[in-house]
Amino acid sequence: MYATTLALVGATGGAGTTRTAVELAAVGARGGRDVVVIDAAVATQGLSEYVHGRIGTDLTTLLTDGAGASLSAATYPIAVGGEHGDGKRGGAGSSAESDLPGRADVVPARAPFERVARAKTAEAARKLERRIDEAATAYDAVVVDTSPVASNEAVAAVTAADRVGAVRPATPHGRDALQRLRGRIADVGATVDGTVAVSRSADGNGDDAAVDADVVLPRTDPFVADAPTAATTDGGYARAVADAHGRLFDTAVDVDFEAGGFVDRLG
């Protein structure tokens, strides 16, 4: 089994990178692929919000105190499928989650400041590279949620991954930030292989600053509780995420959208 690894990098803070990474994993699982998202943005730890239930071992543990543990020790399923009758979201083993043809997992960072600091060292970054390689042996696709390239772990992500995707707001500020990000990534010997603009308008057509992006994601509900949308819906947002998955991974993704036919070999 060959896995493609993708470093998904935010051009700015708050660009929507973590949400996009989760949605890419969900649509990949919907298409029958096993996908994992690794949280290389260890300072913000946003990926942990998509895990329902207690997080024990996390990525920072694997990069510091638990370097001998397997990646699976810090791997958790992304809960999908909305609320149960008790008002709680579906978690590991939920019926909606098990209905997906593939797996959508995350390796989150959830740690106190002291361990986060140790996970940001150059030595920890080298261990992150090995963890990305480890994930590539167990999954069809690996997404590395990466902060703007200004830290050891971000540099490790973009240099270790097969491909690099950039996420930016569909605004003039986002467009300018993308140009700066391209320069940073070039400085470490990598290139941006694809771009995603996250729209502020409902249909994504009102953002003139996004015309140079490979994919524009329409505006969607930003609440974590409503993610991942692409796992179960058939609207424009899910279709755009499927398009982004195909373009960023440069590979086929087969998703049956009820209202609009078959998406095959996107990208």
Model confidence pLDDT, tens digit, residues 169-210:
999 999 999 999 999 999 999 999 999 999 976 554 545 566
In Å, the largest CA–CA distance within the chain is 52
Q: What is the pLDDT of residue 193?
A: 96
Q: What is the pLDDT of residue 208?
A: 57
- Grade residue 99 by pLDDT with cuts at 50, 70 and 90: confident
| Cβ-contact 253, 263 below 8 angstroms | yes
Q: Per CATH, is 4-263 categorized as 3.40.50.300?
A: yes
Backbone angles phi, psi at 2, to 5 degrees: -105, 130
Give alpha helix (H) positions in the chain: 17-30, 59-63, 95-98, 113-118, 122-138, 152-160, 172-187, 236-249
Q: What is the pLDDT of residue 202?
A: 54
- What pTM was computed for the model? 0.88
User: Is it the case that residue 92 has pLDDT exceeding 60?
Assistant: no
- Grade residue 252 by pLDDT with cuts at 50, 70 and 90: confident
User: Is it the case that residue 69 has pLDDT exceeding 50?
Assistant: yes
- Grade residue 2 by pLDDT with cuts at 50, 70 and 90: low
